[in-house]
Amino acid sequence: MYFSAIMLSYMKNWKSSVLVLTAFLVVGVSFVGGAWVGYNSRPEVERVLGVLGKTPPQEISDADFEPFWKAWRLVEEKHVGEEKFDRKKLVWGAIQGMVASLGDPYTVFFPPQDKEDFKSEIKGEFSGIGAEIGVKKGVLTIISPLKGSPAERAGLKSGDRILKIGNDFTNDLSLDEAVHKIRGERGTKIELTIQHKNEDKAVKIEVMRDVIRVPVIETEQKPGKIFIIKLHSFSESSGDEFALAVREFLRSGSSKLVLDLRNNPGGFFSSAVDIASWFLPEGEVVAKEQSRSGDPELFRSSGKRALENIPTVILINSGSASASEILAGALQEHKKAILVGEKTFGKGSVQQLEEVTPDTALKITIARWLTPSGKSISKEGLPPDIEVKIPEDGGNGKDIQLEKALEYLNTH
């Protein structure tokens, strides 16, 4: 009886101890969880300065924000306008100015409307003139007009310099400001002042805007068992579309291939890796991604290999950019294809879209693409193995670059 009483007392004390311990654990977990949530939701200025027990980086400590706040105060105190200024727009403008100072045309802050426009673009359908544009040697330049687009119909070509959009000089605009001005509602017109490649005189060209649907792939069979795959862009569906083109090639009885990447401005990197896998064994490096620190990240072939031993020529020109350069560079360095045409555009950077607020975003360059051997695409572009320049007369209606590719395949 005495033993039972002791056990009963022990059990009561044990249960009380467990309850107390459990309560402490709950409180502890809640505290840690709350601290973690609080840490992650702390003001961005604390994240930048690292004030939670850390020493602020010297570079940030050296940054004097006094001129910024003085300028803000002067605007608040003295600016006279027709309407009261929007402080939110002041913040957006400050961010735009900050990223513009990086000198990178592909790092851009998107205010609400620009963010919506960008989302429409990456879906593959938007309203505009249908030309991919970039910055070449500090000048707004047409990378390539899309096939069948208003830009192509108006006579715009790869390498054309855009000097003015309407009445606005483009040297005063960021890349994305220029894109925003060129776009507009279907059926409206935009006047561009253009300096054609290899010409001194500028001309004004009026282009009617339309809904732009980004094309993907075209195929054609040529004599001599040569099959042509024209890849217009690297969209989300390009990998699947290319697989269908490969099936068509294999069923056609053709034994040689021309992959036409001229005026292909790029797009989804994953599609370039997927397409390269048709030519390369599993594990072969397609491209390297070099970020700010650490060793390059390697992207490798999945080893589909159906085109591995097919004699292949890739057509390139100054309108071949980004994912086009990645694919062409990989196949050139692995000796799976030769490049015919002209040097590529030279856009080998990686952008990532980061939300700043629910309505705004920052498209920021986070890395550079390198070829399998480690060559930077951004610096020079890719030179062709066989250079074929388009003459000033356009070749009198002949596609002399394609003719050179066909000649090479018929003689090798």
Q: Is 347 among the catalytic positions?
A: yes
Which of the residues 152, 241, 333, 342 is marked catalytic?
333
Which of the residues 144, 235, 322, 349 is marked catalytic?
322
Which of the residues 288, 304, 347, 404 is marked catalytic?
347
- Cβ(125)–Cβ(213) below 8 Å: yes
CA distances from 18 to 21, 136, 139, 274 (A): 5, 71, 73, 57
The catalytic residue positions are 322, 333, 347
